[in-house]
Amino acid sequence: MDHFASLRPTPKAWLLNSQLAPHIDAFAEHLRRGRYAGRTTSKYGACLAHFAHWMTQCDLPVQVLNEQTVDQFLNNHLPCCDCPMPVQRVHSDLRAALGHLLVVLRAQGVIAKPPQPVGDIADELRRYDAHMDKARGLSASTRSDRVRTVGRLLLHKFADRPVVIGELQPADVRQFIAEQLERCGTASNAAALTSALRAYFRYRTTCGDRVHGLLGVISSPAHWSLASLPRSLKPAEVERLLSSFTASVPSHRRGYAIVRCALDMGLRSGEIAKLQLADIDWRAGTVTLKRTKSLRQDILPLPAVTGRALADYVRHERPTTTNPALFVRCLAPRDQPIGVDAVRRVIRDAYQRIGLTHGRSHALRHTLACRLLDHGSSLKEVADVLRHRSLNTSLIYAKIDTPRLTAVALPWPGSAT
C-alpha cells in the first residue's frame, strides 16, 4: 500500500477494507513495470479506491469482475455518483485504471479471460482470420475490418442456423450491400465493403464453394485507375521537413529517424513500426524486412544518412529496455514498441510544423519514387525499391516522369514543329 501513500484517509480505507486489498501490490507492480509516472500511479490508486467502494456497496465478489462489470460502474453508477469526497470521477482515468485492474486479475488467475464467441459463425470467422494471417500475411487491422464485415454478412443470412455458403444467394448479397450503404454511403466505405466481400468469397473458392454468382453482383464504386497524380514533396519541402526536428520537439531523434526511413528507403508505416534492432546489419549496411505485406522478406541497402540517424537515436535517445523493437515508447506503458499510429502521427505532426495541409505518410514513398525518376531510374527500378509485386502498381509514376513524357510527346496539330 506504500505505492498509494498519497491517498486521502477515506479512499485509502475504502481500498484496504475491500476485496481488492490482496491485489493492491500486484496492481502497483504492474504500473511500476510499465514505468508509469508517480502522479499517474496515485491517480489510478484513487480510481481503484472508488471502484472498491462501489463493489463493497453492491456486495460484489472480485471473482465476478469483467468488462461488463466495469461498464456497469461507469455507465450506471458514475453519472449519479454520490460517494463522499474526495473521490475520483474522471471517466477516462477510471476506465484506464480498471482496464489495468482486469489485466492484473487475469494474470493472477483470479478472474477468467474474456470468453471466446461460440457457434458456427464464430468458428467460420476464426478459420477465415487464420487464412488471412497465415496464407495472406495481412495485418491485424485489415483482418479485423474484414472479419467484422463478413460477420455482419453471415449474421444477415445465418443468424440462427449453420453456415452453408451454398445457400447464400445473389439477392442476399445485394440486399446486404444495400443495407450497409444506407448506414454509411461514402465511397470509401463502399470500396472497403466490396473489397472485404470479394476477398471472403475468393477464400470460399479455396474451400470448394462455387461463388461466381455471388462475386458477379458485387460492383465497386466508380474509380478510374491511375486517374490521380501521386502527391509528393518538393525538394524545398523535404529540407524544411527534416529541419523541423529540432531539440524542442519531443523525441526529435526518433522522429527524424522515422522520417528518414520512409523518405530514404520507402518503408511503409507498418514496416517502420515493426523494425527490430536485429534487422539492421550495421557492418554490411543493410536492413532486413521480415514482417512485410504478404509474408515476404526483403533485404534493403541502408543509406549512410539513414544509418547515422538511426545510430544517433539508438545511442542518445532510445530508452534502456530489453525490448528488441527499434522504436520503443517513451511514455508509459514503456518497454513496448510504438504502433503504426505513432509513426503516422510523427509524420503528420512534422507536416503541420512546416505548414503542409495534407498528412499522409505515404507521400514520403511517393517522394522517393519521384526522386528516383528525376535521377534517371526506370519504372522497374522504382518498383523494385518500393517492393511492388506488380509493375502495374508503379505505372502511376509514369505520369510525372516529365523528361520521358517530353521525349514521346507528339506535335500539337497545326504547330510548326
C-alpha cell at 249: 520537439
Choosing from 43, 50, 268, 318, which is the catalytic residue? 268
pLDDT in tens, 121-160: 999 999 999 999 888 888 888 899 999 999 999 998 898 8
Is 365 marked active-site? Answer: yes
Q: When comparing pLDDT for 209 and 401, which is higher?
A: 209
Question: Is residue 293 annotated as a catalytic residue, yes or no?
Answer: yes
- The catalytic residue among 136, 143, 293, 348 is 293
Q: How does DSSP classify residue 3?
A: G
- Most confidently predicted of 6-15, 95-104, 317-326, 378-387: 95-104
Q: Which amino acid is at 65?
A: L
The set of residues, in sequence order, having a beta carbon less than 8 Å from that of 159 and lying 6+ positions away, is: none
Reply yes or no on whether 30 is catalytic: no
Residue 260 is inside which H or E element, if any?
A: helix 252-265
| Averaged pLDDT, 395-405 | 57
Q: Which of 77, 353, 362, 371 is catalytic?
A: 362
Measured between its terminal Cα atoms, the distance across the chain in Å is 88
For residues 202 and 59, what is the distance between their CA atoms, to the nearest angstrom? 52
Instruction: Examine the residue annotation and report whether 268 is marked as an active-site residue of this protein.
Output: yes
pLDDT at 148: 94
Active site residue 36: no
168-190 residue pLDDT tens: 999 999 999 999 988 887 888 88
Distance from C-alpha of 299 to C-alpha of 265, rounded to nearest angstrom: 11
In tens, the pLDDT along 206-230 reads 999 888 888 888 887 766 555 555 6
- Check residue 223 and give its pLDDT: 61
Report the 3 state secondary structure along 114-161: CCCCCCHHHHHHHHHHHHHHHHHCCCHHHHHHHHHHHHHHHHHHHCCC
- CA separation for the pair 327, 390 (Å, rounded): 30
pLDDT at 375 over 90: no
pLDDT digits (tens, 9 = 90+) for 290-315: 866 656 788 899 999 999 999 999 99
Q: Cell 444495400, residue?
A: 178
pLDDT of residue 229: 55
Provide the pLDDT for residue 356. 87
- Please determine, for residue 234, whether its predicted confidence score (pLDDT) is greater than 90: no
Q: What is the pLDDT of residue 399?
A: 55
In total, the chain counts a number of residues equal to 417
Say what the pLDDT of residue 259 is: 95
pTM, whole model, 2 decimals? 0.72
> 359: how many CB neighbours lie within 10 A of its CB?
14
**Rounded to the nearest 5°, which phi and psi values hold at 337?**
-70, 150
Catalytic residue among 30, 146, 365, 387: 365
Q: Which helix (H) or strand (E) holds 340?
A: helix 340-353
- The DSSP result for 45-113, as a single string, is HHHHHHHHHHHHHHT--GGG-SHHHHHHIIIIIGGG--PPSS----HHHHHHHHHHHHHHHHHTTSSPP
Domains of the chain: 2-107 (no CATH), 120-216 (1.10.150), 235-403 (1.10.443.10)
pLDDT in tens, 72-110: 999 999 999 999 888 899 999 999 999 999 999 999 999
Examine the residue annotation and report whether 397 is marked as an active-site residue of this protein.
yes
What's 355's DSSP letter?
T
For 319-355, the pLDDT digits (tens) are 888 889 999 988 888 888 998 999 999 999 999 999 9
Query: Which pLDDT score is estimated for 405?
Result: 52
